[in-house]
A and B are shown apart, each in its own frame.
Chain A
């Protein structure tokens, strides 16, 4: 369905993304996980052809046999929105504040389908109902500021799935929502992907959320995919030291509801912080923050692939390399 090969994005000669191989099968849900500044949004934008003008891209974004990077603007516009839906990181900034909700969703329908007149309105109501917004008939006359953050987020999803895309890219669709609304939206994304056989690329910094939604995960750091594979394998047996550190820093919930043992428990932190673009070390991008780094790590680690297609780039993997 989607296959990235040697995808490289640079801005001002600084490498922001360098992904040699990442694939997403039809109907699969892949989580893209990493700290702030690791390149998640840039990867998503590279796939959707929405990179800023100053960015230079090379390699392949193969979508159903076509390399999207070589398509002209008109052909690309047909794919984007119609076959690839996009939910942006910040709903407040991506909904038009001056336009009623119904209009924003119907624009998407008019552009990408042949529906007209009442059929469009019916479809809007149907979509708003699918994303479980209350009273869709009245809601479509409201403006974005009259909706809560969670409701805005659902409108974004409704617009993104209006054309029944084969791939939905959702960039941190639930950050800053409360847990119950978050759970609803995550369940919605799962059921859309199951019912419509829609693939999902789900961007998040939280492995707990990714485990709930996705069956696969790719961990990104410094624009490189450092580990990828089945979500349960990676959560139970992380190999790359960065993945292990991200897991350890996650606050989580206490096992077996043992809340009294949880109180006062400090979190594990990752030494240092994500460097700005251009300041990552050579070789393993994570080595200046890694407790296990050795001289070897100054050279690019080899890709290790296990039998279960769990792959990682690390000289000193967590469990000596079995998975």
Chain B
């Protein structure tokens, strides 16, 4: 994420965007908006961390950026084109290029489907083709799982294995950008480490653009070059992670940092 001036054609460009959920009452003072006056850009192959308190609008923001939710004011452009103009086949293509990994792997996979079917389904829907076994095996191997997993059901896998399946599923359609919404907060420390390393490796190997929502500043400062700090539907601060966290310009970022330091181990 950089300023528009240094980067003429960012992958994602959000300009003065406002969003509210259905039936919200917007007052003259601006109350009611879930997201207000959001402007940010994401460059191809960059890594962006989104942090901020619960309910600040992080999940909503990534859903608007990838076209799952429609904003009411301002602009969201993907590859230079307004996302509202992606229609028909274009809409499928937008969905293919923008994939999300969710927080709770158990809730994001259909419990009645084998892993094979869960992996096949997005490829059928978005690319209108059926992947052969070789493709599924290589997609499951890419996330460090064995082919025997394909015939299993979600309840037969651990949380960490399921999150890998979730990642494999998102990557199966060869996206340009991967949004990960708290991808490891349902996992314990050791499994977190495996999944985070995997995300870093895949990003490097596949040249993915990675946008990650996380409440863990330690994780964001390892993985994300850029950071967006949100509060009450606004962006309070954004920039290079090391700049923002070394010299926070807002009190809220400083508060976040203090809380994160208190309950974290120090690593050199």
Contacts and interface: CB of A to CB of B under 8 A. Distances in A.
Contacts of A249: 189-190, 192-193
B15 interface: no
Interface residues of B, number: 47
Interface string A5-36: 00000000000000000000000000000011
Interface of A: 35-36, 148-150, 175-183, 186, 205-209, 211-212, 235, 245-247, 249-255, 257-260, 262-270, 273
A263 B47 CA distance: 11
Interface string B187-204: 111111110110010000
A260 B222 CA distance: 9
Interface stretch (B27-35, B118-126, B238-246): B238-246
Contacts of B187: 36
B108 interface: no
Contacts of B224: 263
Interface stretch (B2-10, B80-88, B135-143, B257-265): B257-265
A248 to B, nearest CB: 9
Given A179-B260, A180-B53, A182-B259, A264 B191 contact: no
B54 interface: yes
Given A247-B265, A267-B197, A178 B53 contact: yes
Nearest to A212: B263
Contacts of B160: 273
Contact of A266 (B197, B265, B266): B197
Across the A-B interface, give the 6 residue pairs with the lowest CB-CB distance, nearest first.
Answer: A267-B193, A252-B267, A259-B242, A183-B259, A205-B188, A260-B242
A162 B21 CA distance: 39
Interface of B: 52-55, 158-160, 185-194, 196-197, 200, 215-219, 221-225, 241-242, 245-246, 255-256, 258-268
B157 to A, nearest CB: 11
Contacts of B221: 253-254, 259, 262-263
Interface SS of chain B: helix, strand, loop or mixed?
A: helix
B222 A262 contact: yes
Contacts of B53: 178, 180-181
Nearest to B225: A263
B265 to A, nearest CB: 4
B185 to A, nearest CB: 6
Contacts of A150: 54
Given A186-B262, A253-B261, A263-B221, 11 more contacts: A35-B189, A178-B215, A179-B215, A183-B263, A186-B263, A207-B189, A250-B189, A251-B216, A262-B242, A264-B222, A273-B158
10 contacts: A175-B185, A181-B54, A186-B263, A212-B263, A251-B192, A251-B196, A251-B218, A253-B267, A255-B268, A259-B221
Contact of B260 (A206, A235, A253, A273): A253
